[in-house]
Structure formats: C-alpha cells, structure tokens
Chains A and B, each alone.
Chain A
Amino acid sequence: MFGRKSGSGKRFQHNTAGYLFISPWLIGFLLLTLWPILQSLYLSFTEYSLLDSPVWVGTDNYSTITTSDRLFVKSLVVTFTFVLFAVPIKLLFSLLVAMLLNKNVKGMSIYRTLIYFPSLIGGSIAVAALWRNMFGLEGYINHILSWFGIQGIGWIANPDTALGTLILLNAWQFGSTMVIFLAGLKQIPKDLYESASVDGAGAFRKFYNITLPMLSPVMFFNLVLGIINAFQMFTSAFVITNGGPANSTYMYVLFLYEKAFRQYQMGYASALAWILLLIIGVFTLINFTVSKYWVHYEAEGGKSR
C-alpha cells in the first residue's frame, strides 16, 4: 500500500527509459567514481603513507579512532556545533532574503548580485585576508565596536569565538541556498496566489497555505544538502584559522586532511571519511523518513507517502 513503487495510482514502470535517462550518471559512476570510492574503503583498513604501498591492518584504524583518539572526539564536537548553528541560520536567512528579492523592484538584478556576491568568493584565497581583517584584533568589527566604547577581542584568535566567526562566514555566504529558494519561489504559479486573494486570504494565510507547502521540496533539498555540506566544511577552517586556536575550529574534514596529507596516514584518514559518511548517512536517512510529514510534492498530488 505504501510501497513507493505503486505511488498514487497507475504508475508504469519504464525500465528502459529510466536507465537510459540516468545512464550518463550511471556509466560515469561505474567507470570513474566507483573505483576510487572502493579504493578508499579498502585503504581505510590499511596503513598508507602515500609514499609507501598500503599495509593491511584490519580494523586497527577504526578501533583507534573510536576508542583512543581525543582529537576525533574534539573534531566531532566542533563539527556538530558548527552544523547545529550554521544550518538553521543559513536556511532562515536565505528564505527571508529570497522572499525579499522576489519582488519586482527596480534594480533588483543589481541588489541580487550584490547580495549574492559574498557567496562568489567562497573559495578565493582572498577570503582569509578579508575575514582576518574583519575579525582580527585590529579589524573592522573591533573598530566599529570602539565607537560604542566596547573593547573588542581577537575574534579569530580566541578559542571561544573563533568558531563563531566561521559560522558567521558560512551564513554570510548564504547566496546559493537563497538562489535555490528564489528559483523555487518563482516556480510557484501565480494563479494560486490570485485565486487565494479572490477568496479573501491575507498575506500570512497565503504564505502558510501556498508558499510554504509549494516550497517544501526545495526547503527539504536545502536542509538535506545544508547538513551534508556543513558536516564537510573544510576550506574556511583550513584557510583562515587552520583548525586553531587550541583546536577550537578543528573541523572533522580538516582533521581528516591533516591525517592524510600532513601526517602521512591516508589509511586512517580513509577510515575517518567512512565514519563521517555513516554519520551523515544517518542524518540524511532521518531527514528522508521525517520528510513524509511535512514535504508536499505537487506531483504526488498532496502529501507524499
């Protein structure tokens, strides 16, 4: 009854067409992506310096990680904290701003580009210099705070606040999430709103009964991917704080990277990667399971089962 295959009625199976359409991805996956993934799984059971050949050690890596690696715990804590704050903040901002930018105001293209701009520079080398300048001891934030007589601290260099600056950076670069919301908003047929107006609905009712449900597939997407990406945050921690000070910004993937490329322990790093995959997988599974309660797929004619 609730099998996904039967769907909402007479859904036919299109095996040939289905596989044909997904063939670009499937072929690429089997030929190019699968082997490196299987290799990394294999390597997780080895000791591998990259400079040597891998040496089989069985589950040693996994047992060390789960029982005696303090840094593993630390990096998990840092990462979970990051995910806990960065994802909701980003989602909220993105949605609000997307709605703001959805209007037909003159010069909207320019506003959108300006607001999106921070997201363009994410991978840029200059981001480190920028952020250090904003949040450094002699930086702009402190400059502005001094106008109010508040003595700023070295936000980036202080273990209590360094992670906060990275969360802020992540929020500042909400552009992509926002753009996806925008595209989703634009996909909502206008006549839905018009008929609601005719029925006398106010702005809030419209938002609650039309916008939110129609936007929910996209919201779901942003949530799932937001979590997946937040868990794997690497670049800003690497480029701006390098995990410090005192490991307060030691994100999990940074830990993994150091093990792989700085400490010549690619096997250990691979084990870390698969553990992360497991963790993210669990969260994603939860997300998918819970989604049937709040995500509305128009294609399935109402709440998806």
Chain B
Amino acid sequence: MKKSGPLLKTLAVGALASVVVLSGCGSNKDNAGSNASNGGSGSADKAANLKIMWWGSDVRHEATQKALGLYTAANPKVTFTPEYTNWDGYWQKLPTLAASKTLPDIMQMDAAYIQGYVKRGLLADLSDIDLSGIVDEQVIENIKIDGKVYGIPLSYNGQGMVYDKVALEEAGITLPTNNWTWEDFFAYAEEARAKLPKDKYPIDDLRNIWEWYQFYQTSKGLGPIFKDGTTFNLDKDTWFEFNSKYAEFQKAGIVPPADLQLSSKENDPQTDTFGTGRVMLRGASVGSATAIEALLPGGRIAVNSYPIGEAGGGWAQSTIFFSVSEGSSNKAQAKEFIKWFISNEEAGKTLGTVRGIPINNDILKSIEGSLTAGEQLGIDLLNAAKPKALPFYPAPAGAEDFVSTYKSEMESVMFGQNSLEKVYETLVEKGKAAEAKLK
C-alpha cells in the first residue's frame, strides 16, 4: 500500500528545480570562457581579457607570466587571465573545459593531441597570421593540418639519440656515426654486447613502443602505421622481421630483461636505464635534453642521429603550439599576441628556452651565448636530427585504443607470455577497427 505519490512528487520537484536552476543560469554563463567586453572577433584595437592556459613547470610559469606582463605594459588594452598546471593535469582539464564549452582563448597545444581538437572544430584557423620572416616556411608547411594552420609553433623539437661516450670509449666500442643505418645500429648493439660488462646493455628493448617500430617502417619508405592518418598500414613482413630481431637480442642479452626494461621510467633518476648507467644508448627528444643532461652531467653524453633508412629517419619539427579557441570572442587580439610572443626580442629574452629552442632564429641567436649544457645538448640533438628528418607521425585521433593495445600486447611478448602471430592478429583487428573510425 505504498503510496508512490510523495516519492514521485519529491523526485519530480527536485528534478524540476534542477532543470529550472540550470536553464536559467545557463544562457548568461555560457560565454564564461572568453570574458570579452564585446563579442565577435572584432578589430585588434578593442580591449580584451584573454584567458590563456598552458602546461609546464614553475620555471616556465614564471617566465611566461613575465612575458604576459610585458605585453600588457606595451598594450594596456589587453589583459590576461592565466592558468597553468602540469602536463598530466592539463590533459585532464582541457577536455573537461571543452565539454563545458569554456575553453580558454589561447591554449598551448601538443602535436600528439592537436588533431583531436582540430577534427572536432574546436580550434580557430590561424592561417591568416603573417609569419614571414618570423618562422621558416618549411616549418609552417610541416605543421599544417588539412592545409590550414591551427597552432603557431613555439619551438623546435626533434628526435635523435644520445649515448654515454665515456663508457663506450672505455670499453673500446666503435662510436656511432651520424646518419648511420639500421644495419649499423644493430651491428653496434652486437659489438657492444661482447665488450660491455654483464650488467650493462647496449640498447633498450622498445618493442612495446609503437613509435619505435614506426620509425623502422617509415625509414624504409613503407609509410606510417596509419597512412594519411586514415588507412591501417602495418607491413607484416617488416613487423615480424623487426620483432624477431629483438627477440633474438633478448635471448642474447643484448637488451635488458623485460622486468628491468619495464621498470625504467624515462628521465627518472632512480629507474631510467640510461640515467642509471645500465643502457648505453637511446633515443632522445630535443625537449627532454635538459632532463637527460641532468642525469649524466659533465659532458659524458654525445649526440647522434636516429638510424636512417632509404627514406630518412627520426624527425625534426615543432610539437608545441599556441592555438586559439574557435569559440573565442577575442580572436584578433589573441592572434596579435601570439605573433608578438614568438617574434618580440624582449619576450624572447624573458622566455629563454622554457619551451625549448625558440622557433624564431633571431631570438635564438640573441640567447645563444647564455645556454646551459642541457640546452646546448638540445641544439646538438636538433642539428643531428634535421638533415634526414621524416615527418612526425602522431597517432591519429581515434587510434588511441590501437596504441594502448600495442603496448600491452607487446609487453606480454616481452615476458614470453604471448606469440608474435597472435599479437599480430590482435593488432590487425584493432587497427582495422581504428581505420573504420578514421574514414
């Protein structure tokens, strides 16, 4: 005899109340993200408060805020509401802001994530910013998505290799040479194994890193794993050849055992296999150069290019950008600011290398004299990577499942818990599923 009356009533009232409250407040607060005093991407002369967000550590925060202060001093009509956090937090917060339609006017973007945002129309087209004389034309071409510019590059990045020169020389191992081939690379590994003490290894076992295999495949001119970002293109023979080689290496002790390898956390002083002197040579990005130099300071580290195949090897292009939100009402002012950010000399001096090697060559020259060893290492890496660089092929938006499957499946292979054949089937299945989403 339970009367459902009171219950339903309470629920209904509560739900109604919520709806009323929400819809009432909704319309006015929807534009909370870009609190412009006037709508539309009007002329750059109108006053504006730009909401700007970036990730980084405190060094970057301080420098950037100083730069923002410089800009406001020179352009009093434009003020800023900055927001910053660390890398992990940033990529949790940004999608949430997107979901609540409160993206900031200006946001820092990374090459690995930008496609997802472009695909959903969240970023403004910045192709109309005139960057001639500020940024190399080739650099701009490299970062275009569907022929348009969606992020202004802030620094150079690239992928090369670093090795412990002192240790290799001591053991009498032939040093790597720039633009060496994959055959040279494997030969180095075998020679080094013979001459290194038992608990040290020539190279890492990176079978669970899909990008590492992709470097191999692309350097042979076979194209990336997702050709044109839409077609699944894992070359069977090449993949088996590559992984069988590494399986042999694991047996011969040329790469660390699986549990040592997987406990390695990049740049972590406790566990990084390179930093703790267990592995002699590994890939390194320009952006992480200062971190790496801190692991083995004192000039121990020397730089080399990635192994090069017929089509090239490694990559060298910008991966960090400033993008403008498509929903921003202050696009003109935002664009002006970004242009100033990468070209103004004083800004350049204030910012230094907090975002890596400055994209503007003039600014780079002006700070060249005051570089630290780590920053110099970054420049050396960039110079090693540039000559034969291939494009940077990030995982296309929609292939995230494939990427995480690749990692866990290969890890089980590394522990001898799975066979290459089975894993290949799984990868093809996931790859095709991703392809269906990408088309």
Q: Does a CB–CB distance below 8 Å link A and B in the complex?
A: yes
Closest residue of chain A to B95, judged by CB?
A50
Q: Are B17 and A246 in contact (CB under 8 A)?
A: no
B366 on the interface (CB 8 Å rule)? no
B15 to chain A: which residues have CB within 8 Å? Answer: 30, 34
B81 on the interface (CB 8 Å rule)? no
Q: Which of A228-270 contact B (CB under 8 A)?
A: 243-247, 250, 258, 261-264, 266
Q: Which of B404-439 contact A (CB under 8 A)?
A: 404-405, 407-409, 411-412, 414-415, 417
| CA distance in complex: A162, B187 (Å) | 35
- Tell me whether chain B's interface is mostly helix, strand or loop, or mixed: helix
Q: Are A30 and B17 in contact (CB under 8 A)?
A: yes
Q: Are B14 and A31 in contact (CB under 8 A)?
A: yes
- Contact status of A49 and B260, CB under 8 A, knowing A246-B411, A247-B408: no
B120 to chain A: which residues have CB within 8 Å? Answer: 49, 51-52
B415 to chain A: which residues have CB within 8 Å? Answer: 158-159, 245-246
Closest residue of chain A to B96, judged by CB?
A50
A90 on the interface (CB 8 Å rule)? no
| CA distance in complex: A235, B243 (Å) | 33
| CA distance in complex: A261, B117 (Å) | 13
B276 to chain A: which residues have CB within 8 Å? Answer: 138
- Contact status of A30 and B259, CB under 8 A, knowing A132-B270, A262-B400: no
User: For B117, B122, B260, which residue has the most chain A Cβ atoms within 10 angstroms?
Assistant: B260
- Tell me whether chain A's interface is mostly helix, strand or loop, or mixed: loop
Closest residue of chain B to A161, judged by CB?
B259
A138 to chain B: which residues have CB within 8 Å? Answer: 270, 276
A117 on the interface (CB 8 Å rule)? no
A156 on the interface (CB 8 Å rule)? yes
| CA distance in complex: A264, B98 (Å) | 12
A250 to chain B: which residues have CB within 8 Å? Answer: 408
B21 on the interface (CB 8 Å rule)? yes
| CA distance in complex: A266, B17 (Å) | 27
Q: Which of B82-112 contact A (CB under 8 A)?
A: 91-92, 95-96, 98-99
| CA distance in complex: A245, B414 (Å) | 10
Q: Are B411 and A34 in contact (CB under 8 A)?
A: no
B44 on the interface (CB 8 Å rule)? no
Closest residue of chain A to B257, judged by CB?
A154
Q: Are A261 and B91 in contact (CB under 8 A)?
A: yes
Closest residue of chain A to B276, judged by CB?
A138
- Mark interface residues in B247-275 (1 if CB within 8 Å of A CB, else 0): 00000000000111111010000110000
| CA distance in complex: A31, B25 (Å) | 14
- Contact status of A244 and B408, CB under 8 A, knowing A136-B271, A157-B258: yes
Closest residue of chain A to B97, judged by CB?
A50
B411 to chain A: which residues have CB within 8 Å? Answer: 159, 244-247
A35 on the interface (CB 8 Å rule)? yes
- Mark interface residues in B378-421 (1 if CB within 8 Å of A CB, else 0): 00000000000000000001101100110111011011010000
A76 on the interface (CB 8 Å rule)? no
A146 on the interface (CB 8 Å rule)? no
Q: How far is the CB of A258 from chain B (nearest CB, A)?
A: 7
B18 to chain A: which residues have CB within 8 Å? Answer: 30-31, 34-35
Q: Are B22 and A35 in contact (CB under 8 A)?
A: yes
| CA distance in complex: A49, B18 (Å) | 25
| CA distance in complex: A264, B399 (Å) | 10
Which of the residues A50, A52, A153, A264 comes within 8 Å of B259, measured between beta carbons?
Answer: A153
Closest residue of chain B to A19, judged by CB?
B10
User: For A49, A153, A246, which residue has the most chain B Cβ atoms within 10 angstroms?
Assistant: A246
Q: Which of B1-30 contact A (CB under 8 A)?
A: 10-11, 14-15, 17-18, 21-22
Q: How far is the CB of B277 from chain A (nearest CB, A)?
A: 12
| CA distance in complex: A261, B96 (Å) | 9
- Contact status of A154 and B417, CB under 8 A, knowing A30-B14, A49-B120: no
Q: How far is the CB of A49 from chain B (nearest CB, A)?
A: 7
- Mark interface residues in B53-97 (1 if CB within 8 Å of A CB, else 0): 000000000000000000000000000000000000001100110
B172 on the interface (CB 8 Å rule)? no
Q: Are B95 and A157 in contact (CB under 8 A)?
A: no
Q: How far is the CB of A249 from chain B (nearest CB, A)?
A: 11
- Mark interface residues in A131-146 (1 if CB within 8 Å of B CB, else 0): 0110011100000000
Q: How far is the CB of B200 from chain A (nearest CB, A)?
A: 14
| CA distance in complex: A158, B95 (Å) | 33
Q: How far is the CB of A24 from chain B (nearest CB, A)?
A: 14
A262 to chain B: which residues have CB within 8 Å? Answer: 400, 404
User: For B260, B271, B415, which residue has the most chain A Cβ atoms within 10 angstroms?
Assistant: B271
Closest residue of chain B to A49, judged by CB?
B120
Q: How far is the CB of B207 from chain A (nearest CB, A)?
A: 12
B221 on the interface (CB 8 Å rule)? no
Q: How far is the CB of B327 from chain A (nearest CB, A)?
A: 12
| CA distance in complex: A209, B365 (Å) | 83
| CA distance in complex: A50, B258 (Å) | 36
Q: Are B259 and A129 in contact (CB under 8 A)?
A: no
| CA distance in complex: A153, B262 (Å) | 12
B39 on the interface (CB 8 Å rule)? no
B96 to chain A: which residues have CB within 8 Å? Answer: 50
Q: How far is the CB of A31 from chain B (nearest CB, A)?
A: 6
Q: Are B263 and A137 in contact (CB under 8 A)?
A: yes
Q: Are A264 and B116 in contact (CB under 8 A)?
A: yes
| CA distance in complex: A272, B259 (Å) | 31
Q: Are A154 and B270 in contact (CB under 8 A)?
A: no
Q: Are B14 and A258 in contact (CB under 8 A)?
A: no
Q: Are B99 and A50 in contact (CB under 8 A)?
A: yes
Closest residue of chain A to B17, judged by CB?
A31
Q: How far is the CB of B232 from chain A (nearest CB, A)?
A: 17
Q: Are A156 and B95 in contact (CB under 8 A)?
A: no
Q: Are A157 and B98 in contact (CB under 8 A)?
A: no
User: For B263, B398, B404, B409, which residue has the most chain A Cβ atoms within 10 angstroms?
Assistant: B263
Q: Are B263 and A51 in contact (CB under 8 A)?
A: no
Q: Are A159 and B263 in contact (CB under 8 A)?
A: no
| CA distance in complex: A50, B261 (Å) | 35
Q: How far is the CB of B375 from chain A (nearest CB, A)?
A: 27
Closest residue of chain B to A239, judged by CB?
B88
Q: How far is the CB of A70 from chain B (nearest CB, A)?
A: 8
Closest residue of chain A to B261, judged by CB?
A157
| CA distance in complex: A49, B98 (Å) | 10
26 A-B residue contacts at CB 8 Å? Answer: A31-B17, A34-B14, A49-B116, A49-B120, A50-B95, A51-B98, A51-B117, A51-B120, A51-B122, A52-B120, A71-B405, A132-B270, A132-B271, A136-B270, A154-B259, A157-B258, A158-B415, A159-B412, A244-B407, A244-B408, A245-B415, A247-B412, A250-B408, A258-B404, A261-B95, A263-B404
Q: 4 tightest CB-CB pairs across the interface, nearest first?
A: A154-B259, A30-B14, A157-B263, A246-B411
Q: A49-B116, A154-B262, A264-B400 are in contact. List 5 more A-B contacts (CB 8 A).
A: A30-B15, A31-B17, A31-B21, A51-B95, A246-B408
